[in-house]
Structure 1
Amino acid sequence: MDDRYNYPPNYPPRNDLIAEDFVTIQTPMDNQENMSPYIYNPTPSQYNPYYVPTPTPMVPSPSPSSVFSPATPTGDINTDPFYSSDGIDDPFAGEPPLLEELGINFDQIMQKTLAVIIPFKKTEQSILHESDLTGPLVFCFAFGMFLLLSGKLHFSYIYGIGIVGCLSVYFLLNLMSPGATSITLICTVSVLGYSLLPMVVLSGLSVIFNLSTGVIGKFFAITAVLWCALSASKLFVTALALQRQQPLIAYPCALLYGVFALLTVF
């Protein structure tokens, strides 16, 4: 047999060596059934030059698929790295909803729309001071689109008259209101925009019927103007806590909506 399997080599005997300093190694030549590879460290010990370490089995390296495969959440609270019970690890936990950041509140839109549809319904004063422009923009765009379907391109007139009318009503309301209360320009635009809803209905009727001829068209136009003026004046009186001044506020509002009615009828 080859000399490389004879451990330890034939050196002169030493009396300071004990039996634990030698390790019997079973080589692949001695046992053909166990052919697992071994890694040997040929560096001798600093205390015993004839010491041979215990063979260590070779550990296979992980496959590339297991290294680069993403971890999947297990759903366990203790072991799942994606689970967060208190939301501290979530960077978007404290962020408000997207609709709230955009200033869109469907509850307020519904309440103000119902306040315009039913002018005699009691409205809370708190919702009137909210700067909600979603409904007015939608109603103005719908008003212009109905006029466009009836063959009238009046988008510039709608926005121009609307801006002048909102500024005029804003200054008038601040002059009429007591010193302790006031109204903002955005609140004025919001109330006048929501009160445009009956005029939107009138423009929708103009697509189907010809309102410029006959008594019925003029009746619908006058009804829409009075409806818009009544709704706007009621909301302004509620927001500013003005008593017995609703006719004074309804008159300039009726003039503003009368111009929109003229754009719709003629």
Structure 2
Amino acid sequence: MAKEFNVPPVVFPSGGNPDQQRRLPTAPFQPPRPSIPFMSFDVGSAAAASTSFSAPQFGGNPAGLGPGFEDEPPLLEELGINTRQIWSKTVSILNPFRVNSQLHEDGDLSGPFLFLMSFGLFQLLAGKLHFGIVLGWVTMASLFLYVVFNMLAGRNGNLDMYRCFSLIGYCMLPMVILSATALFLPQGGVVIFAMAGLFVIWSTRICARLLVELASYGDEHRGLIAYACFLIYTLFSLLVIF
């Protein structure tokens, strides 16, 4: 015979169904979610603001902050290279009987540097690397001619080193032509010696005339100045011959 146990009934304090009183557990250490207020966004004002923005203008500068690209000088002029002046001086040297000395009153180094690099390039095509020798000889030749002229002119001499280097460099144009012509001539022949003598006289005549006409008190010593120029360009012709 089974024994019966008296179990007291379970009484809930709030009453009702015990399934309705059960709550879901919350995750531990879960911070409360803050309430974010709703922010309205006006599409019309944003479109108006985007259309009011204009792209920068590169052709001019209406704001007045400086000159535009159209008003800027060319790059060669900013570097001090005047191509028209170099061309005019080159054309004047090509005619040894009509040399315009007024074109050479303002000395520059762009044309001489171009002729010296051309001379070295033609020598390189002939198998001779003479870039350093050419630049060194031109520097020493300018210093030599500057000292000789000012010693002859005395205190009244007005030849500066800058103009002297410019004149010697521009008068290197016949030597450049000789260096280019020597590429098609046999080395050590009579023809190249005759052409070298002709081009040396050409450079000497032009350089001596420009020095006498541009510098003061040089007309009295024209022969000595021409002899100094002859020695300078003879050295450069020897580079071409040998």
Q: TM-score, normalised by structure 2?
A: 0.71
* Structure 1 residue 156 displacement after superposition: 2.1
Change over 3 Å in CA distance of 1:236–1:69 after alignment to 2? same
- From 82, 103, 107, give the equivalent of 2:84: 107
* Match runs of 1:123-134 below 5 Å: 123-125=100-102, 127-134=103-110
Aligned residues: 197
Matched, 1:240 2:215: yes
1:100 is matched by which residue type in structure 2?
A: E
Structure 1 segment 1-20 matched on structure 2, within 5 A: none
Give the drift of 1:209: 1.4
Change in 2 beyond 3 A, CA 1:65/1:146 = farther
- Cα RMSD of the aligned pairs, angstroms, is 2.8
Q: How does 1:1-40 map to 2 (within 5 A)?
A: none
Q: Distance in 2 between matches of 1:142 and 1:65?
A: 61
1:171 maps to which residue?
A: 147
Matched with 2:191 is: 216
Residue 98 (structure 1) aligned with residue 82 (structure 2):
no
What amino acid is the match of 1:225?
Answer: V
Shift of 1:110: 2.0
Give the direction of change, closer, same or farther, for the CA distance of 1:227–1:265 in structure 2 (3 Å limit).
same
1:66 to 50, 68, 75: 50
| Aligned partners of 1:177 and 1:240 also within 8 Å | no
Question: What CA deviation, in whole Å up to 9, does each residue of 1:151-174 have, x standing for no partner?
Answer: 111222212221111110011122
* 2:44 match: secondary structure: coil
**Residue 117 (structure 1) aligns with:** 94
Shift, 1:72, TM fit: 7.1
Answering whether residue 230 of structure 2 is matched by residue 257 of structure 1, we say: no
Query: Are the equivalent residues in 2 in contact too, given 1:202–1:220 (CA < 8 A)?
Result: yes
More displaced 10-residue stretch of structure 1: 144-153 or 204-213? 204-213
Supply the distance in 2 between the matched residues of 1:181 and 1:187 (Cα, whole angstroms). Answer: 13
Q: Unmatched 5+ residue regions in structure 1?
A: 1-57, 76-81
- CA positional deviation for 1:113: 1.2
Question: TM-score, normalised to structure 1's length?
Answer: 0.65
Distance change in 2, residues 1:90/1:211 (3 Å): farther
Q: Provide the residue aligned with 2:26 in structure 1.
A: none
State how far apart, in whole Å, the 2-side matches of 1:72 and 1:96 are.
Answer: 22
Q: 1:251 to 1:136 in 2, by over 3 A?
A: same
Aligned counterpart, 1:15: none
Amino acid of the structure 1 residue aligned with 2:96: P
Match of 1:141 among 99, 114, 117: 117
Distance change (3 Å), C-alpha of 1:71 and 1:185? same
Q: CA deviation at 1:105?
A: 1.2
Query: Residue 96 of structure 1: CA displacement?
Result: 5.0
2:54 aligned partner, one-letter code: P
The alpha-carbon distance between structure 1 residues 212 and 129, as it changes in their structure 2 partners (threshold 3 A), is same
Distance 1:59 1:262, change over 3 A: closer
1:231 aligns with 2:231: no
Shift of 1:221: 0.4
- Structure 1 residues 124, 207: CA separation in 2 closer, same or farther (over 3 Å shift)? closer
